[in-house]
Amino acid sequence: MSAMAFRTHEVPDDLLAAIDYCYDQGWTDGLPVVPPVVDRVKAMLGADSRPPDTVIAKHPATGLDLSLHAAAVNAVMAGCLPEYFPVVVSAFEAMDKPDFNFHGSTASTGGSAPLLIVSGPYADAINMNADVNLFGPGNRANSTIGRATRLILRNVFQMLPGISDKSTQGNPGKYSFCIAERARGNPWPLLCEVQGYAKGTSSVTAYAGGGFCNVENHGGNTPEQVLGSVADAMANYGCITLGQAVVILAPEHMQIVAEAGWTREQAQAFLFSQAKRSVEGMKGVGKYRDREYDTQHGEGAHALAETGFVHRGLTPEDILITMGGGDAGGHSCFIPSWSRGRGSIMQHGAIRAPQ
């Protein structure tokens, strides 16, 4: 059996015994994993032309490195096919950028999970789900790419629940949190396009996301009504911070917004203007943190975007909006960022399709 750091483990030639061996080694997320036999690991590595010992991410707190080989082992255990591997690699290269804050977002009590959003033709090439039930079970690519992310955090970077991962309540997304952006019927430019990648290049965006918040509105028929519901969810006292936000509009909601001629930028501006709470209200629930507090505690000082109000984020650009989900149903979602402030900033990277 192949495992971390080029080591091999000899186990009985019995599948169930091999699965139990992986449990015994502490390599699982609580669910059974695919035993990472040498041939499967080699096939996974074949999706990237670089040497297996190439380091693609570093964990600053633990000093541990993620090599392509270690990533491949965990991708096999998660159930990935080799063609999924470029997404896993690009995701970790994106999360390796300092502003993502690898350690804080995975170790804190906040319980965030890395949400991966795959944009562009590669999502269709590997049959990712951007449609019905895109956040739910049933699609191998979505499920196993997200799961590989968690297994790598656990097995390579040693972010262990209850030891180094101190999530107060956790988040189901810690098992798997990976979706594709829906291109079919999407009236706006895809994320990979607005991110500046060359035509035909796909991207993956990594975001340290909190719990999923469903936004139901079956009666609204104007952009203001639909987006007003989303903004209210973004501004609830339970999660409003200066952090970023991800909003996935259902096709029904997107149709209402787009048919009125609204662009992504207009929608961002509206959400930012409406997703706010008064300073007095924030003080009333004990959540207001002034600039003096932030300066004293080394967390960065940020001026209010509007006198007397705390907005979700610092600018409209802090709100990522795109489309996803099935054609029927007025159910969109908002996913809050991790941390009480701006402890993690979303990052993206190009996906290197196998040659």
**Which residues, listed in sequence order, are joined to residue 284 by a DSSP beta bridge?**
none
Residues 211, 122: Cα–Cα separation, whole Å:
27
Q: Alpha-carbon distance 21 to 39, whole Å? A: 18
Side chain identity, residue 81: L
H helical segments located in the chain: 15-24, 38-45, 68-78, 85-95, 102-107, 121-125, 140-155, 191-194, 223-234, 251-259, 264-274, 279-284, 291-296
Q: What share of the chain is helix, strand, coil (3-state, %, to 5)?
A: 35, 15, 45
Q: Tens of pLDDT along 283-331?
A: 999 988 765 445 444 455 678 889 999 999 999 999 999 999 999 999 9
Element (H, E) at 55: strand 55-58
Every domain of the chain and the residues it spans: 1-210+344-355, 212-336
- The DSSP line for 90-147 is HHHHHHTSGGG-HHHHHHSTT--EEEEEEESHHHHHTT---STTTTSS--HHHHHHHH
Q: Could you read off the pLDDT of 90-111 as tens digits, one per residue?
A: 999 999 999 999 888 888 888 8
pLDDT tens, 23-45?
A: 999 999 999 999 999 999 999 99
What is the per-residue pLDDT for 295? 47
Q: Is the pLDDT of residue 217 over 90?
A: yes
The CA R_g of the chain, rounded to the nearest whole Å, is 21
Give the pair of three-digit tokens for residue 231: 């903004």
For 75, 114, 224, 257, 320, the CA distances from 253, given in Å and listed in that order, are 35, 25, 11, 6, 16
Contacts made by residues 295-300, CB under 8 angstroms, sequence distance 24+: 299/341, 299/343, 300/341, 300/342
User: Region 8-20: what's the mean pLDDT?
Assistant: 88
**What is the rounded distance in angstroms from the CA atom of residue 307 to the CA atom of residue 279?**
9
Entry pTM: 0.94
With contact defined as beta carbons under 8 Å apart, do 169 and 238 qualify? no
Predicted confidence at residue 354, as pLDDT, reads 86
Half-sphere exposure of 111 (CA within 13 A, CB side): 14
Nearest-angstrom CA–CA distance, 230 and 228: 5
Q: Which residue has the tokens 């959003």?
A: 117
Share of the chain above pLDDT 90, in %: 79
Q: Which residue has the higher pLDDT, 346 or 341?
A: 346
User: Residue 24's Cα: distance from chain center in Å?
Assistant: 29
Least Cα distance to 152 among 249, 44, 21 occurs for 44
